[in-house]
A and B are shown apart, each in its own frame.
Chain A
Amino acid sequence: MISVLEFLARLAVWLFLAPLLPGIINKVKAWVAGRRGPPVLQLYYDLARLWRKGVVLSMLTSPGFIAGPAIAWVAVLAAALLLPLGPLGTSLSFRGDVILLIYLLALARFCTAWAALETGSAFEGMGAAREVSYAVLAEAAVITAVLTLSMQSGSVSLSAMLTPSAGPGAVLLAVGLFAVLLAENCRVPFDDPNTHLELTMIHEVMVLDHSGPPFAAVLHGAAMKLLLFSVLLVQAVLPVGELSVAAASGAMIGGVLLVTVAVGLTESLTARVAFRRVPLLLTTAFLLCVFALLIAWKGGAA
């Protein structure tokens, strides 16, 4: 009974807190630009409105156009549920769950790109191509970060890997993972979520043809993915599992807020890089993770 309640609480955190993050980012951006900006809860209003709306489909799309966002959403939620939530711990932990998490995100990517190609639009094809291509480098960085954590803790399960801090390479790992977070969630400097020019977008251009409830699933999934990467980053760097419940909760909430504000600041203070430089940036993130790994291997473990 307790475990069911706990699971529901965890589910609630992911489902109901996730849309808060884009709102905070937008507030930060507005604050830097000296505007008032949309309310923090704007995404909640948008989701509620989209959920009630009807749907317009392209004449070319198959049922996969609806199934794609649904499965992608389920995959992101499942990946999120595998992740321990600081003092709440995790409801399911097993050896190798971290690999499942990475591949669940890949499943979400497959479904999103599939749905994008449904429409036969050149722009959405372009976005899908960019998404799956840059993901190759992002995945290399993520698996290297995971290797670092695994080496640090001597384990292949998330709850054990995320309990201690990332050791002496923590700063490198934090910067590398932050870059991956920006790339995977299509934020500046990799992508601009606010742009209105289809030619220059990655993620937003893939969902141009979605509308109504499927679009709500896409937006909510994206918000959950952002929260997932923030939680992962905070727990990878801070020794959340070794703190008391209160301190851990504070560290978690503070850390996630810090990451969110940092995303907003990055977005306000830097410009999107040219597409041909995106691989360079991602390679840098990968190399940062490699250095963290080398420190964990040669320095930390000894």
Chain B
Amino acid sequence: MNPGVLLAAAGAAILISILGAFRAPRGWLATLLAGALAAAGAATWILTTGSAWEWRSAFLLGGQAVHLRLDGVSALFLALLAVVGGAAGAYSREYWADAAHSCSAPRGRAWWSALLLFIGLVLLSSNGLHFLIAWELFAVSAFFLITLDARRREVRAAGWLYLAASHTGTLALFAFFSLLATRTGNWDLGPMRNHTELAPLFWLALFGFGVKAGMFPLHIWLPSAHANAPSHVSAILSGVAIKMGIYGIVRFSGWMPVPDGAGWLVAGVGVVSAVLGVAFALGQHDLKRLLAYHSVENIGIILMGVGFALVAAEHGYPAWGALALAGGLLHVWNHGLFKALLFLGAGSVLHATGTREMSRLGGLWRAMPWTASLFALGAAAISGLPPLNGFVSEWLVYLGLFDAVNQPGAAVVGAIPAIVLLAVTGALALACFVKVCGVVFLGAPRSHDAEHAHECGGWMRGAMLVLAAGCVAIGLAPFVFWLAVHAAVAAWRGIWADAPMPESLATLGFVHMGLAASGVAGAAWLWWRAHRHGWARGLTWDCGYAAPTARMQYTAGSFAGIITEWFSWILLPERHEHRPTEEFPQHAEFEEHTPETVLERVIEPVARLVMWASGMARRLQHGRTHAYILYLILGLIAVAVMAVSWSR
């Protein structure tokens, strides 16, 4: 067995699963999981041996010979694709079941397999033309998955916005690959770092891939698409699809020369995305929209790692550059795992209550203990808390940045604010996830729907358990996963291959194990101690109030109020309030909505202007023949004048 055989098996299994999607849902799931397993096997092979697999065929596609390659960088993303694709696919079996969605469920299964196949092809193809074809097919299959429930207006709107944004990015990639092909003379991709004249092309790639990655301010499509897609689709969009943007940036910054200062820009965009992503998340009332903004935040953290790695590469600091890149790449995995877990948890909540509005939820832990505890685990992981995986990758990034500070050089100026803002991001994310967990799962149910929720079934629970296990495993044994990340770093820059594992990573792993064990033991001990005579149950202390109701609880908006006030300069919240006035107030209300600032305040006005201009231009075409003849004459005169004036 070598990676090629495994990949062929994976491809074949996914192709068969597309056929089975309509008639044999069980067969679909079995082949899908088999394919995911085979792909994971191939990726593990590459990552553990640190080798690369390459296959050139004489078979022509679009006039180009098929050329596939799997190396450390692409294997890292392939492994994530296999895990999240498999788990969320299994989840969809119950979440988007035939019984409830008789029409869209089979379609959803087919597009799911297609999405996995095309993302896989993007990762494997080593030819610019084929990369573009796979990229486009991947974008289109994601569109059909987002709009599975096309009867709802907001779903269609989100789908169109996604498609438009995605194609804006693809346009830049078209330019990028065709310019690359004209400059190098062929479509073949691979290391070409000695062609320094190619460096400016990186800006095109950064824009094109940045739109897909959802970095600020190119993230406009991301919140609505993630919020309105079915939850298993949100999970793969956030867990894997946006990571393909990161893949593109990492891939081509590794293969191609990069213009001076690009690292600074990437790192700067990363910092901005991280802080503003979490700030926007705090302002949200919609559970899935909130999670979507956290994707912007985490993409920011990844970009910080990648950006500082580029800075290190430019100025020649392999030691801390490798650490920052390793942190960023490990965060790709980590974010994929815990964000998929959180979206699946949000899906279970939506499934059980029919709403994503946090102000209508509450107290769900009673009905959904599994979902609540797994979501809590994901929340702790995304807040970067030890002993879970989110902390490990942020720790690596921190370590890289601290080393940058402690070595004299140009990077100090940038690394200091980056460290401070990374810490601020962590604290903000913690605030946000305390809010989410508290408002959704704790306290008393705020609505009838929340009161009558039910736990999700085995498939959904199992999928979440797999992802949660991944979060715990990376947290407790980071030194095992260093191998994989190191293979990717080595594939990115060959000369960084001898960067050793930081010795303290192993220590950190053991400390995490000890911490997890003592946390469990401490909780058990306190539980036993508190419960030894049983406990009395009483009303919550509400300042002596005897009949507290669910409506008196703190809401998501008020919880985040202090922080959203700090960021109101960018969040621009829209408030409608009607204060109670008389002694016996008849009517009072308060409503707050945080718009997507970039989309609603920048893109939409510009779009309206374009629409207005085109509307004006359309008035020229009204169907009156005599006016058309006038246009012709005016045109002729204009051409004549031009011809005469130029000939002089």
Give the B-binding residues of A (Cβ under 8 A). 51, 54-60, 62-64, 66-67, 69-71, 73-75, 78, 92, 94-97, 99-100, 102-104, 106-107, 109-110, 113-114, 116-126, 128-130, 132-136, 139-140, 142-144, 147, 150-151, 154-157, 198, 208-209, 212-214, 217, 279, 293, 297
Contacts and interface: CB of A to CB of B under 8 A. Distances in A.
B540 to A, nearest CB: 4
Interface string B438-478: 11011110000000000000000000000000000000000
Contacts of B416: 147, 293, 297
A142 B427 CA distance: 12
Given A94-B507, A117-B442, A135 B431 contact: yes
Nearest to A118: B442
A103 B552 contact: no
A274 to B, nearest CB: 13
Contact of A120 (B522, B548, B558, B562): B548
21 contacts: A51-B529, A55-B530, A58-B538, A64-B365, A70-B519, A99-B395, A100-B386, A106-B385, A109-B430, A116-B438, A118-B438, A118-B442, A128-B559, A129-B558, A132-B435, A133-B563, A134-B562, A151-B405, A156-B403, A214-B526, A217-B526
Contacts of B380: 107, 110
Given A70-B522, A135-B431, A119 B540 contact: yes
A52 to B, nearest CB: 10
A212 B533 CA distance: 11
Nearest to A132: B431
Given A147-B420, A150-B405, A118 B385 contact: no
Contacts of A103: 384-386, 391, 394-395, 426
Given A103-B385, A114-B434, A57 B538 contact: yes
Given A100-B386, A119-B540, A125 B437 contact: no
A216 to B, nearest CB: 9
Interface in B538-577: 538-543, 548, 550, 552-554, 558-563, 566
A139 B275 CA distance: 14
B399 A56 contact: no
A108 B407 CA distance: 33
Contacts of A135: 427, 430-431
Nearest to B534: A54
Given A114-B437, A143-B423, A198-B543, A64 B376 contact: yes
A218 B398 CA distance: 30
Contacts of B398: 96, 99
B383 interface: yes
B252 to A, nearest CB: 31
Contacts of A57: 535-538
A102 B430 CA distance: 13
B647 interface: no
Nearest to A215: B530
Contacts of B437: 114, 117
What are the 6 tightest A-B residue pairs by CB atom distance, in nearest-first order? A125-B554, A117-B438, A120-B443, A94-B504, A132-B431, A143-B423
Contact of B430 (A106, A157, A217): A106
Q: Is the interface of A mostly helix, strand, loop or mixed?
A: helix
B504 A136 contact: no
Given A57-B536, A58-B538, A70-B525, 5 more contacts: A99-B398, A106-B426, A125-B558, A142-B423, A156-B406
Given A120-B363, A133-B563, A71 B519 contact: yes
A120 B540 contact: yes
Contacts of A123: 541-543
B366 interface: yes
B362 interface: yes
A114 B395 contact: no
Interface in B493-531: 502-504, 507-508, 511, 514-515, 518-519, 522-523, 525-527, 529-531
B326 interface: no
B383 A110 contact: yes
B284 to A, nearest CB: 16
B508 A136 contact: no
Nearest to A155: B406
B366 A73 contact: no
Contacts of B514: 78
A74 B522 contact: yes
B424 interface: yes
Given A95-B502, A99-B395, A120-B362, A67 B426 contact: no
Contacts of A217: 526
A95 B408 CA distance: 19
A129 B526 contact: no
Given A97-B504, A120-B553, A136-B427, A54 B386 contact: no
A129 B563 CA distance: 9
Contacts of B561: 129
Given A94-B504, A120-B442, A213-B530, A139 B559 contact: no
Contacts of B202: none
Interface string B351-381: 0000000000011011001001000100010
Contacts of B174: none
B566 A279 contact: yes
B157 interface: no
Contacts of A142: 423
A122 B553 contact: yes
Nearest to B421: A140
A56 B536 CA distance: 5
B264 to A, nearest CB: 19
B526 A70 contact: yes
Nearest to A209: B541
Nearest to B399: A96
Contacts of A136: 424, 427-428, 431, 563
B204 to A, nearest CB: 36
A95 B438 contact: no
A117 B394 CA distance: 27
Contact of A121 (B366, B406, B419, B540): B540
B564 to A, nearest CB: 10
Contacts of A100: 386, 391, 395, 508, 511
Contacts of B372: 62
B562 A133 contact: yes
A184 to B, nearest CB: 12
Nearest to B398: A99
B171 to A, nearest CB: 39
Contacts of A132: 427, 430-431, 434-435
